[in-house]
A and B are shown apart, each in its own frame.
Chain A
Amino acid sequence: MSQSSNKNDSRGLDSGGLAAAGASAASIYPKAKEPLGMNRLFSLSYPVKRGIARVALLALGAGFEYLSRHCDKLKEEISGWEEGRIFALSILSQGPSVTMKKENGAIRCVGEDLKNAEIVFYFKNIDSALMLFAGFIGAHTASAQHRTIVHGDIGIAMEALRAMNIVQSYLYPGLVLKKTFKRAPKMSFGEKILKAKLMLVLLPGIAAAARR
């Protein structure tokens, strides 16, 4: 062992040394397997990324609107929220945003204005936002990796995050949920039907949200 170390030392950081160091580091911190398509996503131009992010935020907004009227879990989660609560997601610093408001017991997409939002979840850059929207990472991983920050009360942010998790569970396929959620939600038959219905209304929903 010591012989081998000395040999590496005398060679400095040669390829063997690097390989050895790499192997040792990898055994402690195995590098996550590069998800298929992530690099392709990163290589897109900013306007394209911005467009994808905008559609994803609108889908989230439309999902919130629909599910807050039809999904019992989400209805229960937001039942304790005060009327008029506004929360938003935004991409720093000039990226797209979506702002949502509780109105008449349901969630409504109210555009991109962050001014009155009690809670804003900010993505530090568009790549981080795309990683989440494309289902490469979950919301908790985005937080753990400092890819997102929260402005506002953390308790309210946790409530919004739980609600967002419910919406995401209807927007993403099971495989993605299994990979990105701490614990993938189990859906009843009725919830699966609701998920299918959401998919059908999503496009017109996005268009309506975009118009607002």
Chain B
Amino acid sequence: MKSDFYEFFCPVKVISGRQALSNLPHEMDQLNVKRALVVTDKGVAGAGLIRYVEDAFQGSACSIGHIFDETPPDSSNVVVNQVAELFKQKNCDCFVAVGGGSCIDTAKGANIVVTEQTDDLMKFRGAERLKKAMKPLLVVPTTAGTGSEVTLVAVISNVQAGVKMAFTSDRLYPNVAILDPKMTMTMPPKITAATGMDALTHAVEAYYCLQKNPISDSLAITAIKLAMGNLVKCVENGKDEDARLAMANSSLIAGIAFSNSMVGVVHALAHATGGVCHVPHGVANAILLPFGMENNLAKRAGEIGELAQYLCGREIPGDDRAKAEAAIQAVRDINKKLNQMSGLPNRLRDAGVTEDKLEAIAKVAVNDGALIYNPEEVTYEEALEILRRAF
């Protein structure tokens, strides 16, 4: 079960810091592209963040071919095909995703459609099916949680078939990720809390799930340290640029970690909770994380215990089990604090889940691919039990 064999890959160029966004046209130039299709959503555009992107192009030979700001919260094949069509119509040669996970996934999906010259994404579902070199994709995240700017995954709903299509391929990694603190400053406290807990969940699960490896381990620890040191600060004062930048880094680093070590039962249940009850992914992850850690205590007390010093901010005395329990308690404590500060739900019932939906969530969760990587076996009954405890 230890990492005696692993793969690790992350080809994304990272630019992080104040005014990092100004480098966008230069990076396009380096990739030998000139005309960007910007993929964003109404929330990002409404917050005035696209103006920053437009400003960055001043005085450069690169330009914006079109701004698509109608990305829905859950990307679909219809939107992806629409974006791909715009890409061709407007003679664009690269994608710039400005937003959260859905905008980034939409750009990745449209890139598959454009590159593979297809309108049927269904035949590319699964792992490592994309062989052609894709159009350059540059990403400017406006949330700090998904880590999609450095992952090889895209999840897109198929409206006609009523299924979520998952794609994983080394070709789906963006070329460039730009972390500029001004792009996450407008996030309200509750979303800051939820997305931050998403990042923390990625890092924690990356550290104890089956694909863990020495590189992802070191990244996970760094991401946890950054999140524990800065998430509360960001929620407390959204204008704290240092804290915002640190959380953007935490999210990105956790993204690289989990993209290479995968996640487990927390994500399987959170995906299902989102699918059945439309609970935001970060909220579901925050609620389920301590329960998922408990689920793996028997097999991963050592690894979870190793995280105690980073989650608690001090050395914890005692054996693996005592340390692991302290780590879990630290997650509960930060959840409680974020609940008091921002209203982040701490129980599924507070997030809009009704008890009669738990069975449906468990049923969906046992078919989630993340369960493969969870150290402990999770049956339908066990998934239901975790949900009941988190309810």
- CB <8 Å contact, B369 and A157: yes
Given the known interface contacts A29-B3, A158-B367, A159-B367, the answer about A144 and B126 at a Cβ–Cβ threshold of 8 Å is: no
The segment from A4-12, A49-57, A146-154 that touches chain B is A146-154
In whole angstroms, how far apart are the Cα atoms of A139 and B371 in the complex?
Answer: 12
Asked if A115 is an interface residue, CB under 8 A from chain B, the answer is: no
- Is A37 an interface residue when CB atoms closer than 8 A count as contact? no
A-B contact count (CB 8 A): 78
B4 touches A32 (CB 8 A): yes
Contact for A143 among B128, B368, B372, B375, CB less than 8 A: B372
Q: Which residues of A contact B126 (CB under 8 A)?
A: 149-154, 157
The main secondary structure of chain B at its interface with chain A is loop
Q: Mark A149-173, 1 if CB is under 8 A from B, else 0.
A: 1111111111101100000000000
Separation in Å of the A39 CB from the closest CB of chain B? 14
Q: Which residues of B are found within 8 Å of A157, using beta-carbon distances?
A: 126, 369
B210, A144: Cβ atoms closer than 8 Å: yes
Q: Is the CB of A149 within 8 A of B127?
A: yes
Contact pick for A158, options B125, B163, B368, B375, CB 8 Å = B368
- A149, B376: Cα distance in complex, Å: 21
> How long is the Cα–Cα vector from A155 to B163 in the complex, in angstroms?
9
Residue in contact with B375 in the complex, picked from A139, A153, A162, A182, CB distance below 8 Å: A182
Asked whether A144 and B373 contact (CB < 8 A) given A32-B2, A155-B163, the answer is: yes
User: Interface size bucket, A side?
Assistant: 20 to 34
Q: Is the CB of B372 within 8 A of A145?
A: no
Q: Which of A28, A153, A162 has the most B CB atoms < 10 Å from its CB?
A: A153
Quote the shortest CB–CB distance from A125 to chain B (angstroms): 12
User: Which residues does chain A contribute within 8 Å of B366, judged by CB atoms?
Assistant: 158, 162
A97 vs chain B, min Cβ distance (A): 16
Residues on the A chain within 8 Å of B3, using CB: 29
**Residues of chain A lying within 8 A (CB to CB) of residue B129:** 151
CA distance A162 to B372 in the complex (A): 10
Bound together, the chains give a CA A181 to CA B1 distance in angstroms of 11
Does the CB pair B1–A141 fall under 8 Å?
yes
Given A149-B127, A158-B366, also A29-B372 (CB < 8 A): no
CA distance A182 to B265 in the complex (A): 14
Tell me whether B262 and A31 are in contact (CB under 8 A).
no
In the complex, A47 has a CB within 8 A of chain B: no
Against A, the Cβ 8 Å flags (1 = close, 0 = not) of B354-388 are 00000000000011110111011100000000000
A: which residues have CB within 8 A of B? 28-32, 139-141, 143-147, 149-159, 161-162, 181-183
A–B complex contacts, Cβ < 8 Å, 10 sampled: A146-B7, A150-B369, A152-B125, A153-B163, A153-B165, A154-B367, A158-B367, A158-B368, A183-B376, A183-B377
